[in-house]
Amino acid sequence: MPAPDRSKFHSELLRWYEENKREMPWRRTRDPYRIWISEILLQQTRVDTVRARYESFLERFPTVRHLAEARIAEVLLAWQGLGYYGRARNLHRAARLITQQYSGEIPQDPVTLQRLPGIGLYTARAIASIAFGKDVAVLDGNVMRVLCRVFRLQGDPRTTAARSRLQALADELLPKGKASTFNQAMMELGALVCRPARPLCSDCPLSPVCQAFRKKQVHAFPKKTPRKPSPTRLRVVAAVFHRSRILFVHRPPEGLLGGLWELPGLYVNGGDTQDGFEKLKEMLRKVATLEAVSTREPFSVDHVYTHFREHLQVISCRGRPVASSCAMRQAEPFFQWIHPTQLSHFALTGASRKILGQVLS
Ligand code: SF4
């Protein structure tokens, strides 16, 4: 980009940002802990949702030490409904590392930040620039879209090669000493004006320098190669009741939805739901020593994850102790009978909450 354009780019963008930026609680602070929490919350979660949950999370865990000293179950409970629970587990791990290795001080250097769980290139640079004023440029979906359009960049930004070019361009554009404002202005412009669909080019401060706008090719950027449709997995699930309580399973601590509670279920290969229900009942008989007796017709629930969809076939059952056992055991530590009034004390998977919404209504 020629030098005069670049100076116009900066001055128009920063002026626009000062006049149009939205009021956000995390924009009122330079506290690195609060900025870190906001950045993790904002990953894959809508701004309005984050705004509603940010203060309550910080009231519950006001400092990195409070977060480090909490049990993971408490953190997952506070995270309930926000999805992508790996973020909560990583936050907790990172808080412990920060207290153990950095005396409770969040590192300033983006390379050091990136060594912490859950902090990738974008988040490290966001914390380093916004909280500590480091001269590093961020690249999120909004920034990529703005750059692809302004510079008419070829290449799908989801590819590594295009992303490296975009990062180099963002670094080159960054005005020294203004990283915090510049980064936030680029992200805000992408969110409010240079939107994926229906960008507001006539209100855009960058329209005088935007090459896609000048050539009337705005909708051709960013370039996108078609994605494969995400697969659908079939799962049978049982909502088992006994003495007004419901049976839940604790998922293993690592991996997808790690540490959350869910209704017992099994994936079904080959699409034979009936066979799946039989296997599920057999599993409940063996592991939870109960006979699951269906009380209504199966019903279905769909749930979407990042890389796949789940089609859930659900049976509602009454649980009866099997003849050989005097009482259904709480035996396996990963099983728990929970009364509906106590559910708010447990972090549940989104799919289980959806099913309960139907079963308990
Ligand atoms: Fe985006 Fe339009 Fe602004 Fe170009 S002029 S940066 S396409 S909003």
User: Which pLDDT tens digit goes with each residue over 200-226?
Assistant: 999 999 999 999 999 999 999 999 988
Q: How many CA atoms lie within 13 A of 73 on its CB side?
A: 7
- Torsion, Cα 110 114 117 122, to 10 degrees, reads 80
- Asked whether residue 129 carries a pLDDT value surpassing 70, the answer given is yes
What domains appear along the chain, each with residue ranges and CATH number? 3-220 (1.10.340.30), 232-359 (3.90.79.10)
Pocket lining: 189 vs ligand 1, CB cutoff 6 Å? no
Per-chain mean pLDDT for the chain = 92
For the residues of 314-341, what is the DSSP string, one character each?
Answer: EEEEEEEE-TT-SS----STTEEEE-GG
Active-site choice (19, 39, 262, 282): 39
d(C-alpha 199, C-alpha 197), whole Å? 6
- Over residues 44-68, mean pLDDT: 96
**Ligand 1 center from residue 286 Cα (angstroms):** 61
d(C-alpha 248, C-alpha 106), whole Å? 37
- Asked whether residue 323 carries a pLDDT value surpassing 60, the answer given is no
- Asked whether residue 328 carries a pLDDT value surpassing 80, the answer given is no
Return the pLDDT at 110.
98
Pocket lining: 220 vs ligand 1, CB cutoff 6 Å? no
Return the pLDDT at 6.
83
**Ligand 1 center from residue 65 Cα (angstroms):** 43
**Ligand 1 center from residue 207 Cα (angstroms):** 6
Q: How far is CA 218 from CA 197, 201, 260, in A?
A: 10, 9, 43
Q: Percentage of residues in the chain with pLDDT exceeding 70? A: 96
For the question of residue 39 being annotated catalytic, the response is yes
Model confidence band, residue 4 (pLDDT cutoffs 50, 70, 90): very low
C-beta of residue 349 within 8 angstroms of C-beta of residue 235: no
- Over residues 77-105, mean pLDDT: 95
Q: Give the angle 303-305-311 at the CA atoms, nearest 5°.
A: 35
- Over residues 72-90, mean pLDDT: 93
**Ligand 1 center from residue 162 Cα (angstroms):** 19
- Asked whether residue 331 carries a pLDDT value surpassing 90, the answer given is no
β-bridge mates for residue 316, sequence order: 239
Q: Which atom of ligand 1 is nearest to the CA of 145?
A: 1
DSSP E strands: which ranges in the chain?
232-242, 245-250, 261-262, 265-267, 290-294, 299-304, 309-321, 335-338
Q: Percentage of residues in the chain with pLDDT exceeding 90? A: 80
- Asked whether residue 337 carries a pLDDT value surpassing 70, the answer given is yes
Helix (H, G, I), strand (E, B) or coil at 298: coil
The residue to mutate among 5, 13, 150, having the most atoms of ligand 1 within 8 angstroms of its beta carbon, is 150
Helix (H, G, I), strand (E, B) or coil at 309: strand
Of 32-36, 193-197, 234-238, 285-289, the range with the lowest mean pLDDT is: 285-289
Pocket lining: 142 vs ligand 1, CB cutoff 6 Å? no
Pocket lining: 146 vs ligand 1, CB cutoff 6 Å? yes
Q: Biggest alpha carbon distance in the chain?
A: 84
- Over residues 308-329, mean pLDDT: 77
